[in-house]
Structure 1
Amino acid sequence: MKKSIGSRIINSFLIIILLTVSIIDILLITGYRQYYYNTIENNLRYRIDNAQGIYQENYKQYSIEDFALENINLLPDYVKAEVQIIDTRGNVLSDSLGVFQDNVLLYTDVQKALNGKITSRVGTVEYSDDSVMSLSAPLKDQNGDISGLVRLNVSLARVNSQIRYVAFFLVIISLLIISISLLVGVVLAKSIVRPIEELTSVAEEMANGHYKVRANLDSNDELGKLGFTLNTLAEEILKKDQIKNDFISSISHELRTPLTSIKGWASILMNLNEDEKQLYIEGLDIIQNESDRLAKMVEELLDFSRYISGRITLDKDIFNLATTCSNVCMQMEPKADIAHVQLSLEIQNSVMVYIGDENRIKQLLINLLDNAIKFTEENGWIKLTSYVDEDNYIILVSDNGVGMSKDELDHVKEKFYKGKHSKSHSGIGLSIADEIVKLHGGHMDIFSEENVGTTIKISLPYDKNVEVKNED
């Protein structure tokens, strides 16, 4: 079973506190112990220095045995340490406690002192269960040779007891700190987990299709931002869902209309008399037009499906973009004439060398001009302009048609969106146009004012080093 976020936060928090407190305790106890041990060692060194001084001043010309006999009480009574005088063979000549050991050469401090070094050691001795600190120093005769050793042993029982007391006190304080930290961790975990649980619940509701549910988080942190994002997502899904429903309703109606006309006229034509040739021609013409309209709607939907699924690939080649603009304008002139709209062309550069998919660029221009014709009243005008601007080819499609409001302008390139003046069958014409421009690495900007007109600006990047093919 997976652990909850709350338990993981508490566990992580507790592990950090345990590690931190443990490290601090170990450092404090080690430092405290080292401090006391160093203090004891310094005191012993001071006493050792005094013993060496006494030996150098008064006994260096005598044997080590004479020194051992006369200085068995080398230290004052208040110094609680054992004093040993040892010869170079490791024999204990005198001991202030009256304890004589046979194996003192086994101790490292004795071994190093025989080599001329003052050395301390912490460990145990045979005659006591307590830990002791030993300090051994060489005694040199008048010739500078080592004649024996002086060794001080002091019990560490009281010091170790004090260290254990301090360690126990630190452990108690540490447990108290850990308990308080655990309590704080639980409270902190709950404060984090509670909004996460709320967001999870909201997300589960949304996953089940309940997009009207909202997250109620007033915090300004990342969780509050996530809640705001979820709410925005739900609003966008509702909006897109409404657009989708409107699209389905609209496209169903649009598809039904030509199908009804085709079916109706097919029935009429089946029952015509031989002398009704004119009506027969009119019927076939209507069927043909409605079939073309139906085919265009289906082609738009197929194109859009390919674009959003990423299955469209461009068949790029070098061509003259100015010539393409001119050809498309000529192609759309008859439709503009039928709508009683003036269509004009302005090309500032007769040669505009471009690498791209010419058929898709034609589709883009036809789509934009077709839209402009639909939304321009009789006796209105439409203008197609193309020119070079720095590193881009600029194409402008302008009209003095019905225009769009600011709200429509914000959504006009969205999929399935149809404005209040829209005469589109599917609401995806500008979406497809925008996708074509993006596939060519450009961008499309739309400027419009209601009852004034619309200008669509296409910016296509180009390579200045490319030469156009011979068009003959």
Structure 2
Amino acid sequence: MIKKGIGRLIVLHYFFVIFLALLLVEVIFIFAIRAYYYDSIFNHLSNHAALTSSYFQKFVNLDSEEEYTYLPEMLKLFSLDNTELQIIDKDGKVLINSTGFENDRTIQTSDITQALAGNVGRWIGRQPGTGEQVMAVSSPLQIRGEKLYIIRYITSLETLNEKLLNITFLAVGIGAAVLAVVLMFSIGLANSIVKPIKNITAVSAQMAQGNLDVRVKGEYRHELQELASTLNFMADQIVHSNQIKDDFISSISHELRTPLTGIKGWSETLSSGSFDPEETKMGMQIITKEADRLIGLVEEILDFSKLQQNEMKLVISRVNLRELLQETILNVWTKAEQKHIKVKLTGEEEPVWINADPNRMKQVFLNIVDNAIKFSHENCWVNLNLKKYDHVVEVAVQDTGIGISEEHLMRVKDRFFQVNPLNGGTGLGLAITQQLVELHGGHMDIESQLGVGTTVTVILPLSKDDVTETNQDKI
């Protein structure tokens, strides 16, 4: 017996569908063949009845006595083998029949009624006395346009019914054989599906227990192969994510340890006293700088956590994007001057309005421009190009820095990913920037060539008022 599960469901459903289909076909076949044989008998008897009626019309000029005496002659001429022939008057009384037995009973079956109406009638039922199933076919015999007699053929259906019963048994036997073959086939089909599923389930159970080195092996068909490939890909991604997480923990631990070491060292040094004001001032500046660095790291992690949990709340207002970019340049001016890098804003001269959270949008461009300066050589330039279109505004931040290889370019926006972990940071900057841009209804693209430079393009929707003004200017 098949165990409970998807295998049993497949077998039962497949078997049930084939069973219903076979049952329907056999029922239709049996009724069709029964109707065929019954109609054949009816056509044969009705043709003889029609011939008898036509022949009887030749004697329409005879008087009634001659008509009655001719009836026995008609029995001899038109009787059939294994068939009883009766001549009945219009009241349903049997005047004469081919069996020779007298029948005083009045016949009132439906074939008689149809014959009196001028049609060829058929009746199937049980013969009184014997109880066997018969078919009766009746046709009117007319004299001078008046229906005086009814000719009635009666034949037994018992032999035919036996043959039909044998055909039914044969059809049922064939159906049972087909169902047996279908059952075996469906069990094989179920096993071909269930066995791979069991293998995949066993592997997934090991993965759930933390063993991510196992993989689904073997070649499967169709959706099962897709499922196996997806599970293997998921395991690879989890391993990759765990590696990134471990690298991030290692990196962030180092990033946190460095400023904490500086803060702790200078605080212990300053607490010992015996320092002149200049040394004390320098120590306090270092403590402040490292504290700011710690705050930046923690805020970056908190922002990423909020974005991942969809808890980042934006305070939207109408923002002049050109003015925001100018403020961004001023914020990074000192860092750029230290490397002799020129940062300039080109493109639109007029205000460009967008609906955005000014603080978060400034965070986006500060991160992009800061990266451009960080990864550029000395005496280079960073250009912010502002362009306004019908419904969107484009900001392209271009640098002539070290660039990004094609291998790393596809992953540079992934969380925790760092092209060079030795440069410091959490690897969350671009991931946060990307999500903030998307929260504002825009998108960010990065193009880069190793050793040539990088261009980060941010596209944002214009404010509705600015869209209207742009269209009016075109008119």
TM-score past 0.5 threshold: yes
Q: CA deviation at 1:424?
A: 4.1
SS at match of 2:196: helix
AA matched with 2:59 = N
CA distance in 2, matches of 1:335, 1:215: 52
* Distance in 2 (alpha carbons) for counterparts of 1:135 and 1:12: 48
Matching of residues 401-416 of structure 1 within 5 Å: 401-416=401-416
Aligned runs of 1:333-372 on 2, under 5 Å?
333-372=333-372
In structure 1, the residue matched to 2:82 is 80
Q: Match of 1:135?
A: 137
- Distance (whole Å) between structure 1 residues aligned to residue 263 and residue 349 of structure 2: 46
Q: Which of 122, 131, 141 lines up with 1:120 in the alignment?
A: 122
- 1:375 aligned partner, one-letter code: F
CA deviation map 1:259-306 (0-9, x unaligned): 222222222222213x53222222211111111111111111111111
Task: Determine if contact 1:353/1:468 at 8 Å carries over to the other structure.
Answer: no
Q: Supply the distance in 1 between the matched residues of 2:165 and 2:468 (Cα, whole angstroms).
A: 93
Cα deviation per residue 1:298-328 (whole Å; 9 max; x = unaligned)? 1111111111111123322222212211221
Aligned ranges for residues 254-269 of structure 1 at < 5 Å?
A: 254-269=255-270
Structure 1 unmatched runs, 5+: none
Mark the CA change 1:152 to 1:467 in structure 2 (over 3 Å): closer, same or farther: closer
Task: Tell me the residue number matched to 1:168.
Answer: 169
Local SS of the residue matching 1:343: strand
2:92 corresponds in structure 1 to 90
Partner of 2:403, secondary structure, is coil
Paired residue for 1:321?
Answer: 321
Question: Which letter maps to 1:84?
Answer: Q
Matched, 1:297 2:306: no
Partners of 1:238 and 1:157 lie apart in 2 by 79
| Residues 216-267 of structure 1, C-alpha deviations (whole Å, 9 max, x = no match) | 2324522112211211111111111100111112112212222222222222
Asked whether the 8 Å contact 1:344–1:383 carries over to 2, the reply is yes
Q: Distance in 2 between matches of 1:361 and 1:30?
A: 80
Distance 1:79 1:406, change over 3 A: same
How far does residue 191 in structure 1 lie from its aligned partner after superposition? 1.5
SS at match of 2:310: coil
Give the superposition deviation at 1:111. Answer: 2.1
Please say if residues 72 and 95 of structure 1, whose CA atoms lie closer than 8 Å, have aligned partners that are also in contact. Answer: no
* Correspondence for 1:438: 438
Q: Tell me what 1:247 maps to.
A: 248
**In the aligned structure 2, how far is the partner of 1:271 from the partner of 1:244?**
40
Count of aligned positions:
467
Are 2:251 and 2:424, in contact at CA under 8 Å, matched by a contact in 1?
no
Distance 1:88 1:106 in 2: 10
Task: Report the alpha carbon displacement of residue 119 of structure 1 after superposing the two structures with TM.
Answer: 1.1
C-alpha contact (below 8 Å) 1:55/1:67 kept by paired residues? no
What is the TM-score with the length of structure 2 in the denominator? 0.91
With over 3 angstroms needed to count, the CA separation of the structure-2 counterparts of 1:132 and 1:380, relative to structure 1, is: same
Counterpart for residue 31 of structure 1 = 32
Percent of residue pairs bearing the same amino acid type: 35
Instruction: Call closer, same or farther: CA 1:133–1:468 in 2, change over 3 Å.
Output: closer
1:187 is matched with 188
Q: 1:16 to 1:68 in 2, by over 3 A?
A: farther
Partner-residue secondary structure (3-state), 2:75: coil
Q: How many Å apart are 1:410 and its aligned residue? A: 1.4
What is the CA-CA distance between 1:409 and the residue it aligns to?
1.0
* Partner-residue secondary structure (3-state), 1:466: helix
Displacement of 1:63 after TM fit? 4.1
Q: Report deviation, 1:104.
A: 4.6
Structure 1 residues 254 and 60, CA, compared in 2 at 3 Å: closer, same or farther? farther
Show the counterpart of 2:385.
385
Verify the 8 A CA contact 2:322 2:351 in the aligned structure 1: yes
Q: 1:320 to 1:104 in 2, by over 3 A?
A: farther
1:367 is displaced (CA, Å) by 0.8
Aligned counterpart, 2:472: none
Contact map agreement 1:68 1:94 (CA 8 A) in 2: no
After superposition, what is the alpha-carbon deviation per residue over 1:111-150, rounded to whole angstroms, capped at 9, x for unaligned? 22222221111111112232111111222221x2322321
Q: Is the 8 A contact 2:391 2:467 kept in 1?
A: no
Q: d(CA) in 1 for partners of 2:128 and 2:70?
A: 22
Q: Distance in 2 between matches of 1:318 and 1:145?
A: 106
CA contact (8 A) 1:272 1:280 kept: no
2:213 maps to 212
Q: Which amino acid aligns with 1:223?
A: L
The alignment's TM-score, normalised by the length of structure 1, stands at 0.92
Q: Kindly indicate whether the alpha-carbon contact (under 8 Å) linking 2:196 and 2:220 is maintained by their aligned counterparts in 1.
A: no
Q: Secondary structure at the match of 1:73?
A: helix
The verdict on how the C-alpha distance between 1:156 and 1:432 changes in structure 2, with shifts beyond 3 A counting, is: same
Distance in 2 (alpha carbons) for counterparts of 1:63 and 1:181: 70
Q: Distance in 1 between matches of 2:4 and 2:31?
A: 37
Q: Are the counterparts in 2 of residues 105 and 111 from structure 1 also a CA contact under 8 Å?
A: no
Aligned-partner residue type, residue 301 of structure 1: I
Contact 1:394 1:460 in 2 (8 A): yes
* 1:35-58 CA distance string (max 9 Å, x none): 111110011011111221232212
**SS of aligned partner of 2:187:** helix
- Is the 1:68–1:85 Cα contact (8 Å) retained in structure 2? no
Corresponding residue number in structure 1 for 2:283: 283
Contact 2:48–2:78 (CA under 8 A) maintained in structure 1: no
Q: What are the residue-to-residue correspondences of 1:148-159 with 2, within 5 Å? A: 148-159=149-160
Compute the RMSD of aligned alpha carbons.
Answer: 2.4
Deviates more, 1:92-101 or 1:45-54: 92-101
Distance in 2 (alpha carbons) for counterparts of 1:355 and 1:348: 18
* Alignment of structure 1 residues 11-22 onto 2, 5 Å: 11-22=12-23
- Give 2:373's aligned residue: 373
Structure 1's 22 and 268: CA in aligned 2 closer, same or farther, altered over 3 A?
Answer: same
Q: Distance in 1 between matches of 2:422 and 2:391?
A: 34
Q: Is the 8 A contact 2:92 2:108 kept in 1?
A: no
- Label 1:262 to 1:39 Cα distance change in 2 as closer, same or farther (>3 A): same
In structure 1, C-alpha distance between the alignment counterparts of 2:450 and 2:260, rounded to whole Å: 34
Letter in 2 for 1:354: I
AA in 2 matched with 1:122: I
